[in-house]
A and B are shown apart, each in its own frame.
Chain A
Amino acid sequence: MRAEDILVPTPSGVCCKPGGFHIDPTRPVDKALITHGHSDHARPGHGAVLATQETLDIMRLRYGDDFAGSTQAVSYGETIKLGDTAVSFHPAGHVLGSAQIKVERKGMRIVASGDYKDLPDPTCAPFELVPCDVFISEATFGLPVFRHHDAPGEIAKLLRSVELFPERAHLVGAYSLGKAQRVIAMLRQAGYDKTIYLHGAMEKITAYYQNRGIDLGAVERVAGAKKSELAGTITICPPSAMTDLWSRRFPDPVAAFASGWMRVRARARQRGVSLPLVISDHADWDGLTATIAATGCSELWVTHGQEDALVHWAHMRGLKARPLDIVGYGDEEETENPAPADGEA
């Protein structure tokens, strides 16, 4: 039994022939299993979509009611039969509703982990380690220089800056699904209890998080606020808005950006950021390598990101490893396209 008899990587995603489905396909297919709601993984136009309730809700919010022919909500831990495979969804710790998908057939276990992180996040279920034979991993931050283990320390840095510059507004660039809500929730954990302002693009998803019972405290759309009222406040916005005309409504804004990319100075400088916050919803190098080792897998497939380094590392550990060369996953950020407000990293 070879792994390829269960899942076949194709340029448009991973295809399971015996189960009759794709995972996170980048082109419309008959039946799609979706790991999470970010737009590079969850696309509209599939026949049937199986995902967690949250992921389905998020897709509906973004693409409208007819985003798929039919939908089926799957709970974490529930096993469903598709063809002669057994499929189950397990928390990935990436964003609300994010899942790893385990596909099992005749004793061979493959886990497609989607995007994941192994660090605490008050806005979603914690990552669950799923032992397997083949682990399919992302590698967004698959270089040993990416280390973002201290998100609380970064939030503390932001709060020190707000305290030091009470006459300025702090703009925090953050992706609208997941990162924005996590930053807000972490500010609350750190004891910050003032109103947090939102760019309009953040509003819908943030309201959805609150409806799902995630306590984000007082949040308010920034549109109505006067310039003078915004001194000393924190506003969360899409990264592209920070250098947009939109940012001129704020008094002498401090441009902060919450992203794993902020670990590398050249990247932070390129974005014109003056307060980089190294906070990521992806596993960092230590997280990727620890997770892969802990799954006990003998084979690693790498979907997207810095796959060279991770594949090299796996080879050194005696694992079989290969990049999948799937086109279309990854960081929308990279393309410097200010229009979509919901890339992720």
Chain B
Amino acid sequence: MNRFAELLDRLAYEPGRNNKIRLIADYLRKVEDPDRGYALAALTGALSFKHAKAGMIRALIAERVDPALFALSYDYVGDLSETVALMWPADTAARPNKTPSLTDVVETLSTLGKTQLPAQLARWLDALDENGRWALLKLVTGGLRIGVSARLAKTAAAALGDKTPDEVEIIWPGLAPPYRELFAWLEGRGDKPLNIDPAPFRPAMLAHAIEDGDLDTLDATDFMAEWKWDGIRVQAVSGKDEKGGAVTRLYSRTGEDISKSFPDLLPSLRLPAAIDGELLILRDGRVQSFNVLQQRLNRKTVTAKLIAEYPIHLRAYDLLSQDSADLRDLPFAERRARLEDFIATLNDPRIDISPLVPFDTWKELIAARADPALGGAGPDAEAVEGVMLKRRDAAYLPGRPKGPWWKWKRDPMVIDAVLMYAQRGHGKRSSFYSDYTFGVWNGQDQLVPVGKAYFGFTDDELKEIDRFVRRNTVNKFGPVREVTHEAEAGLVLEVAFEGLQRSTRHKSGVAMRFPRISRLRWDKPPRDADRLETLEKMLDKGGEKVPA
């Protein structure tokens, strides 16, 4: 448990992705089976046991410490598990000389009855040190929250055997903790495990963004185009288990199983296949905005009411397998033809095909992108984010290969806002003020914060802003600095964003989607920055995109 606790501790503080991978890979390399396998399961969210509730942990500590000392401590630390981990009375003399291993903990928890849990937990807490107790409580309460995604943990595992994360991803659904056969394969001691999952995830193919000048290097006749929908990318898979029963699953772009959030879509996956497509909300046949779709995201349980009010829909744009045949090596044009037949055969109101955008020249495509309503998207035009370009001859490749697929978003909305507060960044940026809160003028000629952004600028621009922040600080609050923001003095930032939404959490009443700094306007005095009315007008248009 101690090694795992140190790993969690380091991961919780380490901001850098690559450094996190190094820490996890180092742990997996040095720790033996089955401990490391259970650690990998914990990091990928693959452990399942009944979690301990906060109330039980409170009761355990209440039996052991003075209530006033607990209250003072909890008030200072602010987190229940951490407070308990730190102030648990450690009678070092009575401490068992063996600390529980991660394997002991995981295997015991999977069989332990609810009534036995408190006493068992107390015995483990007695045997561990501060950090070990913290890790144990994180594990049993089910919230690691250390900024590690399942994908990141699998990437680290892949590094053990110089494999790509996608190779691990492909076989992952057939594996179970503690993953002995996975480690054997990664370390060259065993064969590659077979993916025996009847409805596996296939690593998604991703597109590069079109930049200025890219189109000049591409031949329009090599490509087909589709609308880029403002929903979420999913993979809908249907297969048959050994007994011939249907197995249906919905995966996120990264391979996370999100079937439980969308039970209303699963019955429509009647024919064995793997569909790559976009998850949308359709009402009266019209695609709703992303803001509407958001009501259905990240929900563990869904009510009948939610299902009725937010009817889910799958818009298909690729077919990765059909029956038991893997289609990914076929050219896109051929997969597309099969997809059209498949969707017609399936004939289900919840699943349709994403139409092609007809064009012969780039000029025609540019026109369609500028005005999707006229370009063929009709009444769904508002849900169009841009266009996707796919080479007719391209196989379906995992990851983000450069060349076969391009995404070309519509121009973002932009406003000019004034820098109000800057906060120090993390990791490589910890000596830079790199997180910015910006505002626009309200009716009383006061600046009100409308958003935060921490990317979009170049390294050189970051240095310039950092210098500005340090020289124009008017107030300091811990890691945050308030900078000069008056009508005649301050820094104007051009902020680009993808959408706008009413928000009760923000003082300004609006919230931006995906805001980033697109330009520094040293030339512009703050008084000429945008006003809140401008944002409200954008809002009134229902999130309709206005050209930059």
Interface residues of A (CB under 8 A from B): 143-147, 150, 157, 161, 164-165, 242-245, 247-248, 252, 255, 263-266, 268-270, 272-276, 306, 308-309, 312-313, 316, 336
A59 → chain B closest CB, angstroms: 31
Task: For the complex, give the distance between the alpha carbons of A265 and B12 in Å.
Answer: 9
CB-CB under 8 A from B428, the residues of chain A are 252
CB contact between B72 and one of A143, A165, A247, A255 (< 8 Å): that residue: A143
Closest B-chain residue to A285, C-beta based? B87
B431 interface residue per 8 A CB criterion: yes
Name the segment of B61-69, B197-205, B537-545 touching the other chain. B61-69
A interface footprint on B68-87 (CB within 8 Å = 1, 0 otherwise)? 11001100111100110011
B26 interface residue per 8 A CB criterion: yes
Task: For the complex, give the distance between the alpha carbons of A213 and B15 in Å.
Answer: 41
Contact at A309–B69, with CB atoms within 8 Å? yes
B22 interface residue per 8 A CB criterion: yes
Contact at B72–A242, with CB atoms within 8 Å? no
Closest B-chain residue to A244, C-beta based? B431
In addition to A144-B65, A270-B478, A336-B478, 8 A-B residue pairs with Cβ atoms within 8 Å of each other are A143-B69, A143-B72, A143-B73, A147-B90, A252-B428, A264-B76, A309-B73, A312-B68
A interface footprint on B168-179 (CB within 8 Å = 1, 0 otherwise)? 000000000000
Contact at A144–B69, with CB atoms within 8 Å? yes
Contact at A313–B69, with CB atoms within 8 Å? yes
B351 → chain A closest CB, angstroms: 45
Closest B-chain residue to A246, C-beta based? B431
B380 interface residue per 8 A CB criterion: no
Which of the listed residues A145, A146, A244 has the most CB atoms from chain B within 10 Å of its own CB? A145
Show 8 A/B contacts (Cβ-Cβ < 8 Å), sorted by A. Answer: A157-B6, A164-B23, A165-B19, A244-B431, A263-B130, A264-B77, A275-B10, A309-B73
A266 → chain B closest CB, angstroms: 6
CB contact between A309 and one of B13, B22, B72 (< 8 Å): that residue: B72
Closest B-chain residue to A266, C-beta based? B78
CB-CB under 8 A from B68, the residues of chain A are 309, 312
Task: For the complex, give the distance between the alpha carbons of A164 and B7 in Å.
Answer: 13
Interface residues of B (CB under 8 A from A): 6, 10, 12-15, 19, 22-23, 26, 65-66, 68-69, 72-73, 76-79, 82-83, 86-87, 90, 129-130, 424, 426-428, 430-431, 476, 478-479
A200 → chain B closest CB, angstroms: 17
Task: For the complex, give the distance between the alpha carbons of A314 and B237 in Å.
Answer: 65
A162 → chain B closest CB, angstroms: 13
Contact at A308–B79, with CB atoms within 8 Å? no
Q: Which 3 A-B pairs have the closest CB atoms?
A: A145-B86, A144-B87, A274-B13
Contact at A316–B66, with CB atoms within 8 Å? yes
Closest B-chain residue to A272, C-beta based? B430
A277 → chain B closest CB, angstroms: 11
A141 → chain B closest CB, angstroms: 11
CB-CB under 8 A from A270, the residues of chain B are 478-479
CB contact between A265 and one of B10, B79, B431, B478 (< 8 Å): that residue: B79
Closest A-chain residue to B76, C-beta based? A143
Which of the listed residues B19, B69, B78, B87 has the most CB atoms from chain A within 10 Å of its own CB? B69
Task: For the complex, give the distance between the alpha carbons of A268 and B66 in Å.
Answer: 26
A100 → chain B closest CB, angstroms: 26
Contact at A147–B86, with CB atoms within 8 Å? yes
Task: For the complex, give the distance between the alpha carbons of A265 and B79 in Å.
Answer: 9
CB-CB under 8 A from A157, the residues of chain B are 6
Task: For the complex, give the distance between the alpha carbons of A324 and B430 in Å.
Answer: 39
Task: For the complex, give the distance between the alpha carbons of A309 and B129 in Å.
Answer: 22
Contact at A147–B69, with CB atoms within 8 Å? no
Contact at B82–A264, with CB atoms within 8 Å? yes
Task: For the complex, give the distance between the alpha carbons of A274 and B76 in Å.
Answer: 21
Which of the listed residues B13, B87, B476 has the most CB atoms from chain A within 10 Å of its own CB? B13
CB-CB under 8 A from A265, the residues of chain B are 12, 77, 79, 82
Contact at A336–B426, with CB atoms within 8 Å? no
Contact at A255–B82, with CB atoms within 8 Å? no
Task: For the complex, give the distance between the alpha carbons of A268 and B82 in Å.
Answer: 13
